[in-house]
Chain A
Amino acid sequence: MTLFASADEPKAAFLRPLPDRDSEPFWNGLRDKQLLLPRCNNDGTYMFPARTFCNRCLSFDVTWTELSGQGSVFSWIVTHHAPHKSLASTVPFTTVQVRVREQDDVLIPGTWVGGAGQAPEWGMPVAIEYLTVDDELTLIGWRAQKGGDPSSD
């Protein structure tokens, strides 16, 4: 399901995320099948990409908080031109940006894992699916859900 499906080592190295000092809990969370983001204790804002301070009030008082893992399709692309020669056999693949249910301006990329051959559409409700690559790395898949108003909280 992930682009890492092949045992091709160069491919894996090429795609492997490079966490920074602010984002390690995010990646550790995915490994434990939790979608975590830092949340401001002052005004409740979630930060994505993960940061140690609030981009609304500049408070440094933040807590890593689990999200529902639900949201709606915000945008999507279907990549046909392999970004790297090691991906030549993997194209085409679909990548989506999902607007999380908790906050309109948090848009989280992931692999489209569809649902019964569905193509993404704007506003389509989705839920996270954890895609385990190996012991160290778990990635985000987004799967279409039936019904529900994606904009409701």
Chain B
Amino acid sequence: VGVGFTEFSSNSGVSTLSLAARAIKNALVDAGLSVADVDGLATFAVGDSVGPAQLAPALGLNDVSYYVNHRGGGSISHAIIGEAAMAVATGIATTVVCYRALNSRSEVRMSSAGRGRGNESMEEQYKNPYGWVMPVQAYAMAARQHMVKYGTKSEHWGAISVNQRAFAVKNDRATLRKPITLDDYLASRWIAEPFRLFDCCLESDGACAIVITSAERARDLRAKPVKIAAAGWALGHSLMSNQWSDQTESAATFLAKRLYTMAGIGPDEIDVAELYDCFTHSVLMQLEDYGFCPKGEGGPFAASGAIGLGGKIPTNTHGGFLSEAYIHGMNTLCEAVLQLRGECGDRQVLGAEVALSTGQPGVITGQTAGVLLRT
């Protein structure tokens, strides 16, 4: 019933706690609620974050009946929404604020988050000695598999990057708004082949918050509510835990079935898709695994214009992590809400009634996602 943002930047100049509070205040104003109405707080952490235990006293909340601070990143981003809906549905809480705040550019960089004992580090020992320590290298390994198996080309990754920048040009929250062409993409420097700079997400400072309450309560509030029609979880695989040996498949394949069944829809009924995009590859995988195109054809599909405004499935209409900002899935979700409210200006998907919003696609850990409906 409410979404809130801070400015997105490369140096916020304020604490992570301040970012969280600003986004939450904006979301509550949007909803027409006051901070005293909040009895639930939910977030997650990889790298920089601020947890409910620090936030509640700072907001003057003395009795929080539901809180969660997941350890995890993209795989968890949409879990907190599904869980908040369950908390509200079961009466554990009445009004839950889901948020993500991070200074991931100016303070704690995300790009080295994989290193160190203790944080799901069992696999790290087998990769680190070979200089494989960054998330981009893991996704590049998986992307290579898609290129080998299906003939996906650099130009296909580039089409996704160019599409998202075109949307960012129309989004005044976006941090990168200079248009780019496919040639610009191909001229960007290698990070880890097959990925170039423009395949990679930003590292950003900023925060987003979203307010969840019951449908009954939502009717009386200021903002036009958006309904959570489905939420789901699926654990996928790592790149080397002998479990699956096909890195071109993701957990989204399983999750899509569950979400579509729960929401009573199929991919053809989705009007806009906001897909987790730590790298271009994760968008392509999801276009396939959510059934927008056949498996293996994501590259040509993306390059055909199908993911742009007026295309079959406009995708990442905020510009995504590649061009708007990296707020770890929460900006993905907030854009889906704004699209369904019809508040996206030049980048609005006309008549959008059904949105898919997702976390990391479950190549490497898992995926959580949701289907949202206009009311």
Interface residues of A (CB under 8 A from B): 2-4, 15-20, 22-23, 45-49, 55, 74-81, 83-84, 87, 90, 92-93, 95, 97, 99, 103-111, 122, 137, 139-140
14 interchain pairs, CB-CB under 8 A? A18-B128, A20-B122, A55-B243, A76-B141, A76-B144, A77-B141, A79-B192, A83-B131, A95-B131, A97-B141, A103-B242, A105-B245, A107-B239, A108-B126
Task: Tell me if A77 and B129 are in contact (CB < 8 A).
Answer: no
- Residues of B contacting A92 with CB < 8 Å? 190, 193
In B240-263, the 8 Å CB interface with A consists of: 240-245, 247
Point out the residue from B239, B241, B244 that lies within 8 Å of A97, measured CB to CB. Answer: B239
- Residues of B contacting A20 with CB < 8 Å? 121-122, 125
Point out the residue from B122, B123, B124, B144 that lies within 8 Å of A77, measured CB to CB. Answer: B144
A63 and B240 alpha carbons, distance in the complex (Å): 20
Q: Is B66 located at the chain interface by the 8 A CB criterion?
A: no
User: B149 CB to closest chain A CB, in angstroms?
Assistant: 8
- Residues of A contacting B129 with CB < 8 Å? 2-4, 15-17, 137, 139
- Residues of B contacting A16 with CB < 8 Å? 128-129
User: A50 CB to closest chain B CB, in angstroms?
Assistant: 9
Q: Is B140 located at the chain interface by the 8 A CB criterion?
A: yes
A2 and B132 alpha carbons, distance in the complex (Å): 13
Which of B121, B148, B240, B242 has the largest number of chain A CB atoms within 10 A? Answer: B242
User: B77 CB to closest chain A CB, in angstroms?
Assistant: 24
Task: Tell me if B193 and A78 are in contact (CB < 8 A).
Answer: yes
Task: Tell me if A105 and B131 are in contact (CB < 8 A).
Answer: no
Assuming the A-B contacts A105-B243, A109-B127, are A75 and B117 also in contact, with contact meaning beta carbons closer than 8 angstroms in the complex? no
Task: Tell me if A49 and B123 are in contact (CB < 8 A).
Answer: yes
Residue of A nearest to B136 (CB): A81
A84 and B242 alpha carbons, distance in the complex (Å): 29
Point out the residue from B117, B144, B145 that lies within 8 Å of A18, measured CB to CB. Answer: B117
Interface residues of B (CB under 8 A from A): 111-112, 117, 121-134, 136-137, 140-142, 144-145, 148, 189-194, 239-245, 247
Assuming the A-B contacts A83-B112, A95-B137, are A104 and B125 also in contact, with contact meaning beta carbons closer than 8 angstroms in the complex? no
A105 and B128 alpha carbons, distance in the complex (Å): 20
User: B98 CB to closest chain A CB, in angstroms?
Assistant: 32
Task: Tell me if B243 and A81 are in contact (CB < 8 A).
Answer: no
User: A34 CB to closest chain B CB, in angstroms?
Assistant: 16
Residue of B nearest to A111 (CB): B130
- Residues of B contacting A76 with CB < 8 Å? 141, 144
Which of A2, A47, A78, A84 has the largest number of chain B CB atoms within 10 A? Answer: A78
Task: Tell me if A3 and B242 are in contact (CB < 8 A).
Answer: no
User: A74 CB to closest chain B CB, in angstroms?
Assistant: 8
Task: Tell me if A15 and B242 are in contact (CB < 8 A).
Answer: no
Assuming the A-B contacts A79-B192, A92-B190, are A49 and B130 also in contact, with contact meaning beta carbons closer than 8 angstroms in the complex? no
Task: Tell me if A77 and B239 are in contact (CB < 8 A).
Answer: no
User: A46 CB to closest chain B CB, in angstroms?
Assistant: 7
Residue of B nearest to A139 (CB): B129
Point out the residue from A45, A49, A87 that lies within 8 Å of B241, measured CB to CB. Answer: A49
Residue of A nearest to B247 (CB): A75
A89 and B293 alpha carbons, distance in the complex (Å): 43
9 cross-chain pairs, A with B, having the tightest CB-CB distances, nearest first: A105-B245, A17-B125, A78-B193, A80-B190, A105-B242, A77-B140, A81-B191, A122-B148, A83-B133
User: A94 CB to closest chain B CB, in angstroms?
Assistant: 9
- Residues of A contacting B122 with CB < 8 Å? 20, 22-23, 49
- Residues of A contacting B193 with CB < 8 Å? 77-80, 92
Task: Tell me if A97 and B240 are in contact (CB < 8 A).
Answer: yes
User: A133 CB to closest chain B CB, in angstroms?
Assistant: 8
Task: Tell me if A107 and B125 are in contact (CB < 8 A).
Answer: no
Residue of A nearest to B190 (CB): A80
- Residues of A contacting B134 with CB < 8 Å? 81, 83
Residue of A nearest to B245 (CB): A105
Task: Tell me if A78 and B131 are in contact (CB < 8 A).
Answer: no
Residue of A nearest to B118 (CB): A18
- Residues of A contacting B191 with CB < 8 Å? 79-81
New contact pairs (9) apart from A48-B126, A81-B189, A104-B245, CB-CB < 8 Å: A17-B128, A79-B132, A80-B189, A84-B133, A92-B193, A95-B132, A108-B126, A137-B129, A139-B129
A87 and B112 alpha carbons, distance in the complex (Å): 14
A93 and B114 alpha carbons, distance in the complex (Å): 19
Assuming the A-B contacts A17-B125, A75-B145, A77-B140, are A95 and B244 also in contact, with contact meaning beta carbons closer than 8 angstroms in the complex? no
User: A53 CB to closest chain B CB, in angstroms?
Assistant: 13
